[in-house]
């Protein structure tokens, strides 16, 4: 069965520092991989997605993620964090035969110190 | 283009009651998926509808049901509410029925509180 693990529940970084949020997935083949962000009281916004091809994916708001098949990982990175990046981040996986169903990780809550 | 809209945004019910939540997808989108978000269980897939047909269903009891209308609007119903049904219910729409290469757009959610 598919599963997604986000090992870090909370992360605090200083504004301007780099960020890496970890995501590990469990799936037999190459899954569809996503990162979403949720601000308080809001729905989910897609940051980026990976299906195939270049394993380094660029997204919105300056985020990127790298797919590493050997490590079953899809970590999200940003070189310089802004205070407005404080939010909860979710990694998700979808399956080719699963229609639009997504399996989400537990989320990582990011706090940004000025 | 208007985004996904969900009504109502907030709802308070008591145990044993039933509730109906509504989701209007982005114009032209024919797929609507529903998710439940709770602090304890996180985001869990409820079901997905495409062209008025349920395509996929999550592991929820039969008290949770849904439907989709010919205009792609969707409703989900929870009967005999329990305290544990308190959650944020999110819907997402996309143009196709998957695989999820098309971006799914999420609404702001309906926050349900069961007392």
Q: What's the pLDDT score for residue A1?
A: 75
Given a cut of 90, whether residue B1 has pLDDT beyond it is: no
| Distance, CA of B90 to CA of B73 (rounded, Å) | 14
Q: What's the pLDDT score for residue B103?
A: 83
Tell me if the bond preceding A9 is cis, omega within 30° of 0.
no
CA atoms within 13 A on the CB side of B44: 15
| Distance, CA of A57 to CA of A64 (rounded, Å) | 5
Q: What's the pLDDT score for residue A27?
A: 81
Query: Is some CB atom of chain B closer than 8 A to the CB atom of A53?
Result: no
The helix or strand, by DSSP H or E, that contains position A93, with its residue range, turns out to be strand A87-94
Q: Which residues of B touch A44 (CB under 8 A)?
A: 90, 92, 106
B56-101 pLDDT, tens per residue?
Answer: 899 999 999 999 999 999 999 999 999 999 999 999 999 877 666 7
Q: What's the pLDDT score for residue A96?
A: 64
Query: Is some CB atom of chain B closer than 8 A to the CB atom of A43?
Result: yes
B15-71 pLDDT, tens per residue?
Answer: 999 999 999 999 999 999 999 999 999 999 999 999 999 998 999 999 999 999 999
Across chain A, which has 114 residues, the per-10-residue mean pLDDT values are 92 97 88 93 91 92 95 96 97 80 95 94
* Of B77, B81, B79, nearest in space to B115 by CA: B81
* Of B66, B69, B82, nearest in space to B18 by CA: B82
Q: In chain B, what percentage of residues exceed pLDDT 90?
A: 89
Q: What's the pLDDT score for residue A52?
A: 85
Minimum-distance CB partner of A43 among B42, B45, B90: B90
Query: Torsion angle, CA of B53/B56/B62/B67, rounded to 10 degrees?
Result: -30
> Distance from CA of residue B35 to its chain's centroid?
6
Residues in CB range of B92: below 8 A, 6 or more apart: A44, A100, B4, B32, B33, B34, B35, B104, B105, B106, B107
């Amino acid at each position: 069965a598919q599963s997604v693990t986000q090992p870090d529940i909370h992360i605090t970084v200083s504004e301007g520092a780099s960020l890496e949020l970890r995501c590990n997935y469990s799936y037999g083949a190459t899954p569809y991989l996503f990162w979403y962000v949720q601000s308080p009281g809001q729905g989910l916004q897609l940051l980026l997605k990976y299906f195939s091809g270049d394993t380094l994916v660029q997204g919105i708001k300056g985020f990127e993620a790298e797919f590493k098949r050997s490590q079953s990982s899809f970590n999200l990175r940003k070189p310089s964090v802004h205070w407005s990046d404080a939010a909860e981040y979710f990694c998700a996986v979808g399956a080719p035969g699963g229609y639009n169903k997504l399996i989400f990780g537990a989320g990582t809550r990011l706090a940004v110190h000025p | 283009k208007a985004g996904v809209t969900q009504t109502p945004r907030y709802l308070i019910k008591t145990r044993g009651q039933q509730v109906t939540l509504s989701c209007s997808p982005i114009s032209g989108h024919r797929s609507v998926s529903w998710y439940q978000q709770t602090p304890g269980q996180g985001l869990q897939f409820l079901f997905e509808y495409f062209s008025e047909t349920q395509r996929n269903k999550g592991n929820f009891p039969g008290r949770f049901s849904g439907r989709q209308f010919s205009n792609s609007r969707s409703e989900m119903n929870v009967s005999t509410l329990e305290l544990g049904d308190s959650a944020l219910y999110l819907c997402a729409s996309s143009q196709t029925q998957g695989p999820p290469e098309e971006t799914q757009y999420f609404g702001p959610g309906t926050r349900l509180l069961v007392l």
